[in-house]
Amino acid sequence: MNLIELRNIHKSFEAHKALNGVSFSIPKGSIFGLLGPNGAGKTTSIRIINQIIAPDEGEVLFEGRPIRREDIQKVGYLPEERGLYKKMNIADQVIYLGQLKGLSKSEATHRCKQWFERFDLQKWWNKNVADLSKGMQQKVQFIATILHEPDLVILDEPFSGFDPVNAEILKEEILNLKQRGATILFSSHRMESVETLCDSLVMIHQSKVVLSGTTREIRQAHKSSEIELVFEGNTPDWMQGFSVAQTEDGNKVVLPMAEHSVNEWLQKALQSQLTIHSCRELIPGLNEIFIQIVQNSAL
């Protein structure tokens, strides 16, 4: 079952074509990555899902039927450009934003208290945004995004501005949301930041979908069938044809799996009395896959 489905969406701004026949579906309860470089059309896609703008062509389905205005209350949105009122205390803001999403005042207040405790923000309850560190502001904004327990959580570049400790807390919370049954849409131009989290993804480049599928499928489909061996000892004769690089970890060599299997290569190495530090199959990251695709499409 798909929570959201975009079908053949077209959208132009004046002469610029922002989306050119984009289609993708977000399975319910999954973490979904919307990837692509700046200007590819990610924000436009998100705005269409948020019903901030309407597509010129194509349709958006929510739980299998055309999306309706009131579905907006089931969506939580953390935009890339974070923003809160500077001169309003943070608890009031979070409660206000929750109310705009349909919560009653008492319910919003209750949940806000719980979240503030969870993120250790209680003593900041009455402070203004200007008094908070950037990391705390991010937390407040995150709370405002999910206070109404949306079915769909849209996070645009969620990790930018978080230090490693807080990024880890955020990651945990995202996984919690997933466990609770929420669907999460991640948008990022930094592919590697989300690849470990995403169940499936779509990659947009120049207003078109260039790649889609589950993260595992995509990486398997793009693996180069090579292994990387790190070892110590004299380079044996049979390695003559391969380039051996000397690194801090030891000597590094890339061997093609077309000739021998991993086991056979290892056997050879052991016979040559090499000390083996590591051996792994080379599976490209999303970044490399993306660059590969862009280069191929440019040819």
Partner 1 sequence: MRAIYLILSRELFVRVKTKQFWILSILGPVLMSAFIAVPIIIAKMDDSTQTIWVQDDAQLWKQQLPSREKLLLIPAPLKGQALIDSLAQDENLGLLTVTAEVFGKDPGKGLKFTSQSPMSLKVQDYLKENISKTVEDKKLEENGVSRAKLDSLKTPDFEFQSVKPEGSSQSSEKAFGLASVGSMLMYFFILIYGMQVLRGVSEEKSNRIMEVLISSVQPFQLMMGKILGIAATALLQFLIWIGLTMIVITLVLPAFLGDAAAGSANATPQSMSPDALSAMADVPGFLLVFFFYFIFGFLTYAALFAAIGSAVDQEQDAQQLTFPVTIPIIIAFVLAQTAVAQPHSATAFWSSMIPLTAPVVMMARFAYDAVAPWELALSMVTMVLSFVFFTYISARIYRIGVLMYGKKVTLKEIARWAFKK
The Cα-based distances of 125 to 85, 91, 134 in angstroms read 15, 5, 16
**Closer to partner 1 by Cβ: residue 65 or 86:** 86
* SS (HEC) of 223-278: CCCEEEEEEECCCCHHHCCCCEEEECCEEEEEEECCCCCHHHHHHHHHHCCCEEEE
97 is an interface residue for partner 1 by CB under 8 A: yes
In angstroms, the Cα distances linking 202 to 59, 221, 270, 273 are 18, 15, 42, 46
Q: Cβ closer to partner 1: 153 or 255?
A: 153
**Contact range with partner 1 by CB under 8 A, out of 16-24, 46-54, 210-218, 274-282:** 46-54
| Minimum distance of partner 1 from residue 285's CB (angstroms) | 30
Using an 8 Å Cβ cutoff, are 124 and 112 in contact?
A: no
Can residue 205 be called a binding residue for partner 1 (CB under 8 A)? no
Binding partner 1 (rule: CB under 8 A), the pick from 79, 135, 161, 213 is 79
Q: CB 208 → partner 1: shortest distance, Å?
A: 22
- Is 270 an interacting residue with respect to partner 1 (CB under 8 A)? no
- Sheet bearing 208-214, strands edge to edge: 75-78, 152-156, 183-188, 31-35, 200-205, 208-214
CA contacts within 13 A on the Cβ side of 67: 26
Q: Is residue 100 a contact residue for partner 1 (CB under 8 A)?
A: yes
* Using rule CB under 8 A, residue 116 touches partner 1: no
User: Which of 96/235 has CB closer to partner 1?
Assistant: 96
3 is a contact residue toward partner 1 (CB under 8 A)? no
Kindly give, in sequence order, each residue whose CB lies less than 8 Å from that of residue 89, ignoring residues fewer than 6 positions away. 125, 126, 127, 128
Cα–Cα distance measured from residue 136 to residue 124, given in angstroms and rounded to the nearest whole number: 9
Stretch that binds partner 1, among 49-57, 178-186, 218-226, 254-262 (CB under 8 A): 49-57
CB of 198 to partner 1, least distance (A): 22
Structure tokens that stand for 193 in this block:
């930041």
Among 22, 26, 75, 286, binds partner 1 (CB under 8 A): 75
Options 77-85, 183-191, 251-259, 263-271: segment touching partner 1 (CB under 8 A): 77-85
Q: Smallest Cα–Cα separation from 76: which of 152, 2, 6?
A: 152
Binding site for partner 1 (CB under 8 A): 47, 50-53, 69, 72-73, 75, 77, 79, 81-88, 96-97, 99-101, 144-145
